[in-house]
Amino acid sequence: DAKTTQPNSMESNEEEPVHLPCNHSTISETDYIHWYRQLPSQGPEYVIHGLTSNVNNRMASLAIAEDRKSSTLILHRATLRDAAVYYCILSPIAYSGAGSYQLTFGKGTKLSVIP
């Protein structure tokens, strides 16, 4: 399975931008890059995903390196509600056999937002 590497924790001041890095040097050309976040005692919440080009949605932006070996999740203005564990995960584009739908969650990055 392709793996990702994220810092264990990060801090940000409220209302400032946050850049959460993720390394995935063994990514396959058929892998999407997914980001989820998890608040305490809740299930993970989908944030954003992309393949090659940078992506924007109402929650965040995803910047993908040209060689696809790293990516950065960008929260444009951190709020207290953004304090969570953020997971960067690789997922195949399409079903290719048993097990291919599995998401491998590491420990993620715990983001703290300082008022």
Partner 1 sequence: DGGITQSPKYLFRKEGQNVTLSCEQNLNHDAMYWYRQDPGQGLRLIYYSQIVNDFQKGDIAEGYSVSREKKESFPLTVTSAQKNPTAFYLCASSISAQPQHFGDGTRLSIL
By CB under 8 A, residue 44 contacts partner 1: yes
By CB under 8 A, name the one of 17, 57, 107, 112 that touches partner 1: 107
Which window, 14-22, 32-40, 67-75, 76-84, contacts partner 1 (CB under 8 A)?
A: 32-40
Residue 110: name the closest of 71, 91, 83 by CA. Answer: 83
Distance of closest approach, residue 92 Cβ to partner 1, in angstroms: 6
CA nearest neighbour of 36 among 99, 107, 95:
107
Binding mask 48-67 for partner 1 (x = CB under 8 A): -x------------------
Q: How far is the CB of 66 from partner 1 (least distance, A)?
A: 24
> Which range, of 16-24, 50-58, 72-80, 95-103, touches partner 1 by CB under 8 A?
95-103
Residue 41: exposed, middle, or buried by beta-carbon count in 10 A (0-12, 13-18, 19+)?
Answer: exposed
82: left (phi over 0), alpha (psi -120 to 50) or beta: alpha
- Whether the Cβ atoms of residue 89 and residue 49 lie closer than 8 Å to each other: no
